[in-house]
Amino acid sequence: MRLTIKTKLIASFAVILTLTAGSGYMAMQSLQDANEDFHQFVSGPFAQVQTSRAMRESLTDVRRLVNRAYITNDLAERAKYVEAFDTRIAELEAYREQLLSHVDDASREQHASLTADMAEFADTARRALELSNAADSEAPGTVLEATEQVFTAFLADAARLSEGLRNLGEPSADSGQGVHSAAPMRDLVRALSLAETVSTSAMTARISTIDAAARPSPEHTRAQVEHAEQQVAAVEAALAELKAIPLVSRNFMALVPDLNTSWTAALAVLRAQLDSALELREYAALEMLSKGLLPVSERLDGQLAQISNDSDAAAAAKSAETEASYVQMRNKLVAIVLAAIAIGAAAALWMAISISRGLNRSVKAAEAIGRGDLTTELDARGADEIGDLMRAMKAMTENLRRIVGDVISSSGQVAAGSQQSSATAEQLSQGSTEQAAATEEASAAMEQMAANIRQNAENAAQTEKIAGQASLNAEKTGKAVANSVDAMRTIADKIQIVQEIARQTDLLALNAAIEAARAGQHGKGFAVVASEVRKLAERSQLASTEIGELSASTLGISEEAGRMLQDLVPDIQRTAELVGEISAACREQNAGAEQINQAIQQLDEVTQQNAAAANEMSATAEQLSAQAAMLNERAGFFVLSRDAAAATTPAAARSEDELDRQMQTEMAGRASRKPAAAPVKRAAAKVRPAQSGPAAEGGFDLDLGAAGDEGGFERLSA
Amino acid sequence: MQTTTATTLGQDYLTIALDEDIFALPVATVREVLDPPPMTRVPFAPAHVPGLVNVRGNVMPLLDLRTRFGMAAAEDRETTRLIVTHVDRPGDPFLVGLRADAVYEVIDIAQGALRPAPPGSTRWPAALMQGVIQRGDRYVIVLDLAEIVAADAARPQ
């Protein structure tokens, strides 16, 4: 394959530019990838982390709200909490939506549990909130307040009974009555004890009730409620027993129903509180908070934390991946740039070295040629332009060598040839003289011939005149014949008249004969006359018939003669024309003979000029010989080969001998083969004197192709 | 041309021709010989009397001898002539023009030379001829004009 400098340059630049473009494209691609990764990071893991954190906060808020709702008893505050709870739950839903919208399809199933947990959490939290709202955080206080009034009234009643009994037992001055007997005394003590029991049991039942509400635990509450029921049963029993004691019923007729009434009221309140305590609302709320809401929220939180962690992990992975790709891309870019630099430097170095080396060799070769040294053998290598230049230089050297060799040998040939041509010129001069004598003889013969031709022309002209006259006469004769034909026709017509007259005469003579016959003897003489007339008429008719036949035959002959004459006239005219042409040809021939005569005279002149020119040519040939020697000397400037440089002169002499022989054979061949070459030489000799000036200055050229004068020769010989 | 001898006592005849046959008419009946004048055709006339001719003011019937003798009718030729004859019918003389192919001459026939035609010697109807005259090596048939015209009157065709 041919590797030119152009190809090399184009190839190396193309490689470098391609590498640069490739590195730029890759850098741009990498930047674009990084940008996309960043965008994905912002909208993916980062957002998820943010959202899950916010969800976790919201989760905590919800739980706090439920706890606060449980703790407080204020209805307005609770309503506020419910409102806040709804807001939080909506927020959580929104966060969930946001979170799941950033999740790809693969992990969407994984996050299905999150949705379920979310729903469960919302449900549980709402129930916990409702239970918390229903619970009474200050239940003992409430029970205390609720039972305060009725129990105070009942205890007051009981206290009044006890007071009354004590007063009954002490000997009083004012009444004088007292219980001084042993049975009443025992009843009184019994009543007092029962009254004490009523108060104490009532108090205890109340305390148990309060205690049942104070500690929300089913066992404790049930134990306290049972204890309170026992105390109530004790109060009931004591009251029944008390009523059964006559002393009491007798002495305190009004007080016992009061006591019963207040007890009934207190018991109703107490039972309501006990029933309320047995409902265990606080306990349920607490249960829901601790066992329902807490695990769900913790699970959800755990999931959210997991999502957050996953996102963190994904972000970390993404970051690591980006880092890795950055490093890879940087390495690639560095490698490409390094490769481009290396290739560029190598190509530049390679081309610079190859160009400068080749050019140096070419310059050396050119200097050698300038000195005339054609011996240098150039080593043409390489497939590039420098190689082309080297090859061209080599070809030039070889061509120069060949041309100079040719010039040297040609100059030798010219020298030999000029000597040969000198001899030939002398021969030519002699021949020209002989030619001049022959030409004069030809001229004399030609003049004789011209005179004959002129005589011919004159005769022909005369013949032409005669022929024209004959033609005219023939035409006239034709007309005359036609006239005579017409006359013959007239004669024939007239003869018919004569015939008619003869017939009429015959008829008349017949009638006369008839008349004569009818006249009988008297008409005998007339009959003879009539007969004679009739004979005359018959004779004249016969004669006229003969004349008619004769004239008819004459008419036919005359018409035949007229036709023949008409046929003859064109022939005569044609003859006249031909004679005219002959006459014209004779005149032309005469002119041609004159021209030939002139030409022969010119030929004579030219022949004499040729003789002179041949002499001049001889001199010129000698000059040419001298010029050839000079040319040989000039051409010796070039050294063709180191061996031949010393032996130039013998070689030239040898080649001259060979050339002489060659020239002689060539000239002999030309003289025998081509006599027509003489005019060419003459033309060359004619040109010579005009150019002898420039020839003396060291150079001349022979215009062998000049054909200006040869035209004359061709015209004359034609 | 025959020469007429006036020495013999006899009767003069005018010789005429129909085709090659020569006939003779007594000169006494002949008035004139003419070139045939233009004829005026008469409708429903008999074939041998085709029309009338005007000869110098006299109108007369034209009788074609050829047709009369049963020969084929022919056109006029150069020698065709009209012979004006006088028919001397008693009490009713009239002129009639006879058309003949040629008229030759007046001849003088000696008495006794006229002989009756030998029966069967001629193809012509015998009623129309007076006799035959030998003249040289030929016979001349002498026509009976009265018969010719009379026959015409008696047997109109």
- Chain B neighbours among A 284-313 (CB < 8 Å)? none
Pairing state of beta strands B10-18 and B129-135? unpaired
Q: Kindly state whether residue B2 falls inside one of the protein's structural domains.
A: no
Q: How far apart are CA A384 and CA A364, in angstroms?
A: 19
* CB–CB contacts below 8 A, A to B: 39
B17 touches chain A (CB under 8 A): no
Question: Given pLDDT bands bounded at 50, 70 and 90, which one contains residue A131?
Answer: confident
In the numeric block, which tokens belong to residue A7? 């190809």
> Are the beta carbons of A681 and A428 closer than 8 angstroms?
yes
Q: What's the confidence (pLDDT) of residue A505?
A: 92
Helix (H) or strand (E) holding A485: helix A385-519
Statement: residue A457 has pLDDT above 70: yes
- Residues in B touching A531 (Cβ below 8 Å): 3-4
What pLDDT score was predicted for residue A652? 46
DSSP per residue over A334-391, as a string? HHHHHHHHHHHHHHHHHHHHHHHHHHHHHHHHHHHHHTTB---------SSHHHHHHH
H or E element, residue A148? helix A139-169
Interchain contact, A518 vs B105, CB within 8 Å: no
The strand pairing partners of B62, in sequence order, are B51, B97
Contact A538 B27 (CB under 8 A): no
Where is pLDDT greater, at A430 or A345? A345
CA distance B50 to B43: 8
Query: Residue B5: inside a domain, yes or no?
Result: no
Question: % helix / strand / coil in chain B, to the nearest 5?
Answer: 15, 45, 40
Highest mean pLDDT pick, A77-91, A412-426, A670-684, B51-65: B51-65
User: CB contact, 8 Å: A527 with chain B?
Assistant: yes
When pLDDT is cut at 50, 70 and 90, the band that residue A661 belongs to is low
Provide the ipTM. Answer: 0.84
Q: Which of A471, A467, A464, A465 is nearest to A565 (CA)?
A: A471
DSSP string, A196-264: HHHHHHHHHHHHHHHHHHHS--HHHHHHHHHHHHHHHHHHHHHHHHHHH-HHHHHH-TTHHHHHHHHHH
Contacts 24+ apart (CB under 8 A), A666-673: A667/A420, A667/A424
Q: Which residue did the predictor score with more confidence, A266 or A642?
A: A266
Q: Which of A511, A518, A527 has the CB atom closest to B4's CB atom? A: A527
Question: Rounded to an integer, what distance in angstroms lies between the CA atom of residue B61 and that of residue B47?
Answer: 12
Which residue in A514, A518, A527 is closest to B6 by CB distance? A527
Q: Which domain CATH number covers B52?
A: 2.40.50.180
Q: B10 exposed, middle or buried (CB, 10 Å; 0-12, 13-18, 19+)?
A: middle
Q: Closest to B27 (Cβ–Cβ): which among A514, A535, A538?
A: A514
B32/A527 touch (CB, cutoff 8 Å), yes or no: no
- The answer to the question of residue B1 being in a domain is no
Residue A650: predicted pLDDT: 45
Tell me if B23 is assigned to some domain. yes
Q: Do B105 and A513 touch (CB under 8 A)?
A: yes
B102 touches chain A (CB under 8 A): no
Phi-psi region of B57 (alpha: psi -120 to 50; beta: other; left: phi over 0): left
Contact list, B77 vs chain A (CB under 8 Å):
none
Domains of chain A (ranges; CATH) run 20-135+291-316 (1.20.120.230), 139-171+178-287 (1.20.1440), 385-703 (1.10.287.950)
A524 contacts B32? CB cut-off 8 A: no
**CB–CB of A506/A538 below 8 Å?**
yes
Cβ–Cβ of A514/B6 closer than 8 Å? Answer: no
User: A189-212 burial, b for 16+ CB within 10 Å, e for fewer?
Assistant: ebbbebbebbbebbbbbbbbbbbb
Q: Is A514 on the interface with B (CB under 8 A)?
A: yes
Secondary structure class of B156 (helix, strand, coil): coil
Residue B105: its H or E element: strand B102-110
Q: Is B34 on the interface with A (CB under 8 A)?
A: yes
- Classified as helix, coil or strand, B13 is strand
Q: Which residues from A are below 8 Å from B35, CB to CB?
A: 507
Contact B33 A524 (CB under 8 A): no
Residue among A592, A630, A611, A616 nearest A716 (CA): A592
| CA angle (A649 as vertex; A645, A653 as ends), nearest 5 | 140
Q: In this structure, are residues A499 and A544 in contact, taking their beta carbons and an 8 Å threshold?
A: yes
Cβ atoms A43, A339 nearer than 8 A? no
Q: What is the pLDDT of residue B1?
A: 42
Mean pLDDT (whole number) for A686-703: 41
Of A625, A325, A581, A639, nearest to A463 by C-alpha is: A581
More confident residue, A708 or A306: A306
Nearest by Cα to A628 from A400, A401, A417, A399: A417
For residue B4, is it within any domain? no
CA–CA dist A706, A681 (Å, integer): 11
pLDDT confidence of residue A690: 38
Question: Is B112 domain-assigned?
Answer: yes
Provide the domain count of chain B: 1
Higher pLDDT, A164 or A674: A164
Compute the distance between CA of residue A161 and CA of residue A258 in angstroms, rounded to an integer. Answer: 10
Whether B3 is in a domain gets the answer no
From B78, B77, B83, select the one nearest B99 (Cα to Cα): B83
When pLDDT is averaged across residues A69-76 and rounded to a whole number, the result is: 80
Rounded mean pLDDT, A595-611: 84
Write the pLDDT tens digit of every residue in A31-59.
898 898 888 877 777 877 888 888 888 88
Decide if B21 is inside a domain: yes
Give me the residues paired with residue B25 across strands. Answer: B14
CB-based contact B132:B119 (threshold 8 Å): no
Q: Is B14 on the interface with A (CB under 8 A)?
A: yes
Share of chain A above pLDDT 70, in %: 85
**What mean pLDDT is predicted for residues B22-35?**
91
Asked if the C-beta of B33 comes within 8 angstroms of chain A's C-beta atoms, the answer is yes
A516 in contact with B, Cβ within 8 Å:
yes
- Cα within 13 Å of Cα(A426), Cβ side: 8
- Residue A9 pLDDT level (bands cut at 50, 70, 90): confident
Contacts for A652 with CB less than 8 Å, ≥ 6 apart:
A408, A412, A632
Q: What is the largest CA-CA distance in chain B?
A: 49
Name which of A287-301, A350-364, B6-20, B73-87 the model is least confident about.
B6-20
Contact B28/A511, CB-based, under 8 Å?
A: no
Range of the domain at B102: 10-154
Strands (E), A605-678: none
Distance CA A613, CA A605 (A): 12
Those residues whose C-beta lies under 8 Å from the C-beta of residue A411, and which sit 6 or more positions away, are A628, A629, A631, A632, A635
Residue B12 has its nearest CB partner, among A510, A517, A534, at: A517
Interface test with A, best of B4, B29, B55, B82 (most A CBs within 10 A): B4
pLDDT band at A716 (very low <50, low <70, confident <90, very high): very low
Q: Nearest by CB to A518, which of B3, B4, B28?
A: B28
Chain A CB contacts of B30 under 8 Å are 514, 518
In chain A, which residue's Cα lies nearest the Cα of B82? A507
The answer to whether the Cβ–Cβ distance between B30 and A527 falls below 8 Å is: no
